[in-house]
Amino acid sequence: MIKKLDILIIRSFIGPFIVTFFISLFVLVMQFFWLYMDDMIGKGINIWTIIQLLIYMSTTLVPLALPLSILLASIMTFGNMGENFELVAIKSSGISFLRFMRPLLVFILFVSGLAFLFSNNFIPVANLKAFSLLYDVRNSKPTLNIKEGQFTNEIQGYSIRVGSKDKDGNTIRDIIIYDHSENSGNTKVILAKEGQMISAADKQSLIFKLKEGWRYEEGYSRGTNDLTQTRMHFAKWDKVFDLSAFNFTRNNEDLFKQSYQMMNVSQLSEQIDSFNRTRIKGYNAIGANLAPYVVLNSNSKEDTLLETRIKKLVSPTRKYDSSFLQLIPDTSRNAALTVAMNNVRNFKQSLDISSIDKKIQEDNFLKFDVEWHRKFTLSFACILLFLIGAPLGAIIRKGGLGMPLVIAVIFFMAFHILNITGEKLVKTNTLPPWAGMWLSTVILLPLAFWLVKSARNDSQIFTKEWYIRIWRLIKNIIPVKNIA
């Protein structure tokens, strides 16, 4: 009977889990789509490219959708069983709540293992594909749009104005074209009364078939410095514009491979070790860079001789009024001050460069270390939110998508906010990476154990009758006088 019960609870969980996972993933993908919609529209990007981008981004959003779906599905599953008094029947047969949770806990452990493998092997590849494609989409030029009565500068080297367009969209009138492709100013101007605007068959060029126009060119005559203007009339003339710059092109994905988001655990560990070795070398390099400016306490032979000479000149019994400069002859004092000031400036500049370099290295180290911990926090988040969702469902005893959805969103938002807060504290160097990335787990894990204990003892903290009894108890302790 117990084996059949295990199958029953797993089958009851898998259905809501699959449904809520795809719903959560769909909502997150739509949020991404609306966020970057302005970067996609009007650029002539084909449907297949957009579908690819959505597929890659949906893969990268699994770490958010998976814990949320586990939390919501566990609340729905145990809430349905509590609402239908199945939990009461199971407990009355002598099966404890922890024993009843055991098959689902084993299943969640299996899902957590798959989540780690997915996060370690698939998400870096998906990040590489998604972010490289998104970069190309955001940096691609919008499609050419020539409006009536406005100058268009989208074609490099040309400024085009069309007075009006006919209804067919191809016939144009009152055309002005400024040709500054030679970077010599507006020395070439083309005027035409009318023409046809036609795209080439390969979409790589735009052809203006102009009629009844003039070409004006300014320039210096050969051998002289005289500025001349040439005017030429044409009855028909074809002006071809190159549109290859408007094509959507893909950059090499290898340019993005060194980012921390594109690495697995072993690659991240290797980079972290490299940062640690670089940090030690950096400290030694700082000392080597500053050594030429620190004469005293130096180990070089010349500096040791200089220190010995200064000690002979400045005896313990010799006193001077206010400055060591008094010991320098007047003829050499200005030169000594100039050298000293230059050394101080160079000393400060070297310290500033070393400080900036150390700050950049520290920021990069934190990003890689945070990403390393994130690989493991995703897997443990699945277990943690199940330990919260299962007892919550047993306590509230409500199924469906009403109350379970509200409670799941509240707890997931708390979990997500704690995750973001911990990551921000790490990046501001307030907390070490391990403490910041596991902050949500440390705070919510005791709550999960308390909820499991409450569900085991049939707590009624989420029922209406429990609050009514508490209110009556308060009224008995503190009598409320009726005001006539």
Q: What is the pLDDT along the chain (484 residues), one digit of tens a residue?
A: 457 778 888 888 888 899 889 988 888 888 877 777 776 666 667 788 888 888 888 888 888 889 988 988 888 888 888 777 777 777 777 777 788 788 888 899 999 999 899 888 888 888 888 888 887 777 666 556 677 878 887 777 788 888 888 877 788 888 888 888 777 777 788 888 888 888 777 667 788 888 888 888 877 666 666 677 788 888 888 888 877 666 666 777 777 788 888 888 888 888 888 887 877 776 666 766 666 666 555 555 555 665 566 566 555 555 555 566 666 677 777 887 888 788 888 878 877 877 787 888 888 888 888 889 888 888 898 899 998 888 888 887 776 667 777 788 888 888 888 888 988 888 888 888 888 889 888 898 988 888 888 878 766 655 566 666 666 777 677 755 544 4
CA dist 27 → 20, 115, 123, 183, 476 (Å): 10, 20, 19, 50, 49
Residue 298: both structure tokens together: 């130096």
H helix and E strand count, the chain: 13, 6
Residue 361 tokens read as 């290295």
Distances (CA, A) of 6 to 15, 103, 108, 245, 388: 15, 6, 14, 62, 20
Rounded to a whole number of angstroms, the CA Rg of the chain reads 37
pLDDT at 225: 67
179, 189 contact by CB (below 8 A): yes
CA–CA separation, 23 and 65 (whole Å):
9
CB atoms within 10 A of CB 230: 10
- CA pair distance 60, 135, nearest whole angstrom: 15
pLDDT at 452: 84
Separation in Å, CA 479 to CA 177, 469, 472 = 89, 15, 10
Listed residue (422, 427, 428, 413) closest to 440, CA to CA: 422
Q: Model's pTM, two decimal places?
A: 0.67
**DSSP reduced 3-state for 417:** helix
pLDDT of residue 45: 73
Q: Which residue has the tokens 């508490």?
A: 470
DSSP 122: I
pLDDT of residue 249: 67
DSSP 261-281: GG--HHHHHHHHHHHHHHHHH
Q: Backbone phi, then psi, for 46, in 5-degree steps?
A: -75, 165
How far is 244 from 204, CA to CA, in rounded Å? 5
Q: Which helix (H) or strand (E) holds 330?
A: helix 330-396
